[in-house]
Amino acid sequence: MTDRRTFLKIAGLAPLARFGAMNAYASAAVSPNYKALVCIFMFGGNDGNNMIVPGPGTSEFKNYQTIRGSIALPDANATLVGMNITAKNGTPYALNDGLKLVLPLWASGQLAAVANVGLLVQPTTQAQYQATITGGSAVPLPTNLFSHSDQQVQMQAGIPSSSASTGWAGRVADAVASQNAGTSFPPSVSVSGPALFSKGNIVQSASLIPGFNMQLNGFSTWQPAVGQARQAQYQNILTFNSGLTMIQAADKVRQDAVSLSNMLASLPPASPFTRPFPQTTIGQQLLQVAQIMQLQPSIGLNRQIFFASLGGFDTHSGQSWQQFSLLQQLADAMLSLYSATNDLGIAGQVTQFTESEFGRTLQPSGSGCDHGWGNHHLVLGGAVKGGDLYGRYPEMALGGPDDCLSNSNPSTPARGAWLPSTSIDQFAATLGKWFGVDMTNPAVTATVFPSLAAFTSQGLPATLGFMG
């Protein structure tokens, strides 16, 4: 196995001229054993209630319109015309018009939805939740529910505590580490800056921001020997064993980021992708993901995990136009990445999916809505059993069985904050099983998905069936 010092010399800190051979590999076919997960985190709390709505003309849609009032779809900025979809059981739904670009993938079977997903410690009913928050001890609950910062940590971690030190995808990467034997390159990459989601107990995440150049300056000098001496000293600093865990980890992240940045710079300037990536934040992040996938023949990884993000979903006001615009950006970027995976011949080996810290209340507050809990998510890829909605879509009723708040408790009046019917553990385990996690080994599942046993022990499925 290549040691770190040799790897850095070859891939990270050497002059770019040494990457000529990598260009040939980058144009080679990606391995048929390769698989990748791509998380797109919607920071701010995407309003799932206006991303996937009941089918127009149904009684549930009428209830939805009555409760949502001025922010219900359709309105002047987001019409449901032509956005109708149908689940395999015949139930009609509709997507927000901002998702128009990916709508055809529902019919062709690459796009699915998963309803009412959220963080839970164990299966929880409305009565149990109400008993717990009013001073009882019916069930344990995630800490600091409805808090942006806490729920962002917990949804990335898959752990109902804000003190988690690993992400669920990082632990997935740990569990399939044998698939990447023989390569020193980081299998987990965030293109949105540092992300807990990508960090494992063993696997460390490389972190990049598209457009931020991590290549080293000051190493090409008039006298080459001077630059070479500087480079050698810098390498010594990064590889020096200080004995301090945090410093060693930080140095490793820096090494990986510099290495990856230089490898990306070595790619030919002409894009091999037939569909241009949009010049948006999420578009450029997913372009970077596609370019890293293009490098697979040279870095040798068979399993990769990516974290990307799009912010702005904290829609307490101006939601109709704001969410529509953000979903347009999301759909445009996701379609470009799906197209790129087709170009690379790996459409069935790459799965994109959304996450967000929480959903939002069905009952609006002015031109927006407040923090909720359960939320709906999209899954896209050639291995997805698309054209269907998985999980249980909530009943459009304030104080109904899916509302964690209750009109019987004056201190927490019902507002349509959905009590999750599907745990993030089940959602993650479905993706993890497809990725190669051994779901038959209780020790593995207990480490990767710590709360999953609380659901399977009550007869609920460990996985949801949306992956082939």
Higher pLDDT, 246 or 202: 202
Interacting residues of 468 by C-beta distance below 8 A, sequence separation 6+: 383, 384, 385, 434
Chain mean position to CA 180 = 21
DSSP reduced 3-state for 113? strand
Q: Residue 117 pLDDT > 60, yes or no?
A: yes
pLDDT at 15: 28
Instruction: Report the distance separating Cα 151 and Cα 159, nearest Å.
Output: 10
What Cα–Cα distance (Å) separates residue 44 from each residue in 6, 52, 148, 274, 357?
Answer: 42, 18, 7, 32, 7
The strand pairing partners of 86, in sequence order, are 92
Which of 21-35, 85-99, 387-401 is predicted with the least confidence, judged by mean pLDDT?
A: 21-35
Mean pLDDT on 359-378: 96
Instruction: Report the distance separating Cα 124 and Cα 237, nearest Å.
Output: 51
- pLDDT tens for 9-56 read 333 333 222 233 334 444 579 999 999 999 999 999 999 999 999 999
Q: What is the dihedral of CA 303, 276, 313, 199, to 10 degrees?
A: 20
The strand pairing partners of 95, in sequence order, are 52
Mean pLDDT on 274-286: 96
On whether the CB atoms of residues 455 and 122 are closer than 8 A, the answer is yes
CB-facing half-sphere around the CA of 259: CA atoms within 13 A: 26
On whether the CB atoms of residues 37 and 169 are closer than 8 A, the answer is yes
- pLDDT tens for 175-189 read 999 999 988 888 999
Mean pLDDT on 409-419: 86
Q: What is the mean pLDDT of the chain?
A: 86
Mean pLDDT on 242-263: 59
- pLDDT tens for 290-327 read 999 999 998 899 999 999 999 999 999 999 999 999 99
Tokens in use for 235? 């390498």
Which of 9-23, 223-237, 259-273 is predicted with the least confidence, judged by mean pLDDT?
A: 9-23
pLDDT at 138: 80
Higher pLDDT, 410 or 325: 325
pLDDT at 134: 85
